[in-house]
């Protein structure tokens, strides 16, 4: 019965200034209903001021199997971090 | 009203679990992030990670049963919504039952991340292929049962569920944190409602005592069979799905309830309930586990009624699902 009712991923912004965070998922026939259901399911206690719903099928996720080769290129670029640079003694505010 | 000892502490544990989850997530894993390494490091397994088949199957079974319990659990209390003694109590009870529906949905969504479909889960409940907690097969005979359920049944559920906030499967742990935060309201409203009755007329007091008498042992049985007979426990502990044994949690619940009952001025129906100085715990009479097995197998006072109601509600709700789908389809066509 719910097999053909699409799955939506729900993102809730708790307060102005915070990013939307993944809260969970739910089934709904379309985006409007998904929003209403998300309000009832994930913000019963005013947990949010804004909700995004995204069709679960529209999310492309990176694969955990390829996690290493996918993210490794950044691993040896330690020069991207300020701590890489040793400063001469006595230098302040830098 | 006197404070509910333990509720604050349990909520504190939920917050600690949430903090630990974030802290563990920031910790670097040395070398391979294999299943065993993640478990050993107290980190979370996520949906797309490799995991043993038995871990996946066991979690699906446990989360599904948990979700079904939340859904069926709406019935005993739903029974009293239209007969609540005041608008205030009615609003509270409605909000609580609505929360239970929400808990069911969070948990179904968590189970679905393991590769089972909502349709399969719905069918498994409707056909009786998967179980729900035996506690919901007992009838709610008086208004005082709403208080006793909140205090004892939700109380036992919280004791069971707080450790699950640290479960090794990420989506389940996160769902449980959300659930547990909502549960403390359930337990408090029940305790407070029972307290009001216990301070009331002799008839109200007797009604409160009767409710406690009937719900005490079924609540103790919610923790499952004694450790010696518990089939899934050892593996589940090794995989950090379960953190404490059935008997440990049951003892914890008893120890919390005794002082709470004293404050209510009600008696727990166990003449052998005594403080054991040596153990540092209360000695208590175990629930009737043969009765538990009978109820689990389908022979409780309300099993047939609960299943019939669930199936009827599902069938009678078909037009809503169809209308929603038709409306969505119409809108899609209008846009196209
Ligand atoms: Fe619940
Ligand atoms: Fe509850």
Whether A17 and A48 have beta carbons less than 8 Å apart is answered as no
Q: Which residues of A touch B174 (CB under 8 A)?
A: 24
B→A interface, C-beta within 8 Å = 33, 46, 48-50, 95, 98-99, 102, 105-106, 109-110, 112, 117-119, 122, 174-175, 178, 182, 314, 318, 321, 324-325, 327-329, 331-332
Highest mean pLDDT among A17-26, A84-93, B227-236, B273-282: B273-282
pLDDT band at B3 (very low <50, low <70, confident <90, very high): very low
Quote the CA–CA distance of A14 and A20 in Å, as a whole number.
Answer: 7
Name residue A8's beta-bridge partners: A26, A55
Quote the CA–CA distance of B317 and B323 in Å, as a whole number.
Answer: 10
Residue A61 sits at the chain B interface (C-beta within 8 Å): yes
Strand A21-27, strand A7-13: pairing: antiparallel
pLDDT per position as a tens digit, A28-41: 999 999 999 999 99
Name residue A26's beta-bridge partners: A8
Q: Structural domains in chain A?
A: 2-62 (3.10.20.520)
Distance from CA of B178 to the nearest CA of A (A): 9
The pair of structure tokens assigned to A55 is 């069709």
Q: Containing H/E element for B184?
A: helix B170-198
Residues 6+ apart with CB under 8 A from B302: B76, B136, B137, B138, B139
The reported pTM is 0.89
The pair of structure tokens assigned to A86 is 């040793």
**Among B209, B206, B199, B179, CA closest to B10:** B179
Q: CB within 5 A of ion ligand 1: which residues?
A: B 70, 100, 103
Contacts 24+ apart (CB under 8 A), B2-8: B2/B195, B2/B263, B4/B187, B4/B188, B4/B191, B4/B260, B5/B256, B5/B259, B5/B260, B6/B256, B6/B260, B7/B184, B7/B187, B7/B188
pLDDT per position as a tens digit, B212-245: 999 999 999 999 999 988 777 788 999 999 999 9
Quote the CA–CA distance of B165 and B172 in Å, as a whole number.
Answer: 8
Q: Which residues of A touch B178 (CB under 8 A)?
A: 24
Give mean pLDDT, residues B53-81: 97
Q: Which residues of A touch B33 (CB under 8 A)?
A: 67
Residues 6+ apart with CB under 8 A from B210: B142, B144
* Ligand nearest to the CA of residue B70, numbered in listed order: 1
Instruction: Tell how far the Cα of B177 is from the centroid of ligand 1, in angstroms.
Output: 12
């Amino acid at each position: 019965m719910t097999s053909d009712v699409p799955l939506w991923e729900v993102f809730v912004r708790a307060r102005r200034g915070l990013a939307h965070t993944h809260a969970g998922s739910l089934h709904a026939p379309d985006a409007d209903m998904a929003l209403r259901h998300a309000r009832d399911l994930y913000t019963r206690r005013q947990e949010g001021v804004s909700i995004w719903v995204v069709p679960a099928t529209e999310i492309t996720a990176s694969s955990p199997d390829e996690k290493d080769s996918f993210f490794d290129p950044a691993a040896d670029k330690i020069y991207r971090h300020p701590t890489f640079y040793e400063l001469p003694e006595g230098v302040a505010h830098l | 009203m006197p404070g509910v000892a333990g509720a604050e502490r349990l909520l504190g544990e939920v917050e600690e679990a949430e903090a630990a989850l974030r802290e563990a997530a920031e910790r670097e894993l040395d070398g391979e992030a294999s299943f065993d390494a993640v478990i050993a490091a107290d980190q979370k397994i996520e949906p797309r990670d490799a995991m043993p088949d038995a871990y996946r199957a066991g979690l699906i079974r446990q989360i599904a049963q948990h979700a079904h319990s939340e859904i069926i659990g709406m019935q005993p209390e739903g029974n009293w919504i239209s007969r609540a003694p005041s608008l205030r109590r009615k609003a509270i009870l409605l909000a609580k039952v609505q929360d239970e529906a929400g808990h069911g949905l969070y948990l179904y969504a968590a189970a679905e991340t393991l590769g089972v479909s909502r349709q399969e889960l719905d069918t498994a409940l409707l056909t009786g292929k998967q179980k729900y907690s035996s506690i919901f097969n007992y009838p709610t005979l008086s208004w005082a049962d709403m208080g006793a359920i909140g205090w004892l049944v939700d109380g036992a559920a919280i004791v069971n569920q707080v450790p699950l906030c640290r479960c090794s499967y990420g989506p389940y742990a996160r769902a449980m944190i959300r659930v547990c935060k909502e549960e403390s309201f359930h337990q408090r409203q029940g305790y407070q409602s029972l307290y009001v009755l216990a301070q009331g007329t002799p008839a109200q007091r007797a009604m409160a005592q009767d409710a406690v008498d009937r719900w005490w042992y079924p609540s103790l049985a919610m923790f499952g069979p004694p450790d010696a007979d518990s089939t899934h426990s050892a593996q589940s502990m090794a995989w950090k799905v379960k953190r404490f044994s059935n008997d440990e949690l049951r003892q914890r619940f008893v120890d919390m309830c005794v002082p709470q009952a004293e404050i209510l001025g009600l008696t727990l129906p166990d003449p052998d309930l005594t403080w054991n100085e040596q153990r540092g715990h209360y000695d208590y009479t175990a629930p009737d586990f043969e009765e538990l097995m009978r109820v689990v197998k389908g022979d409780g006072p309300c099993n047939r009624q609960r299943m019939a109601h669930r199936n009827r509600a599902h069938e009678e709700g078909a037009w809503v699902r169809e209308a929603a789908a038709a409306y969505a389809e119409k809108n899609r066509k209008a846009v196209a």
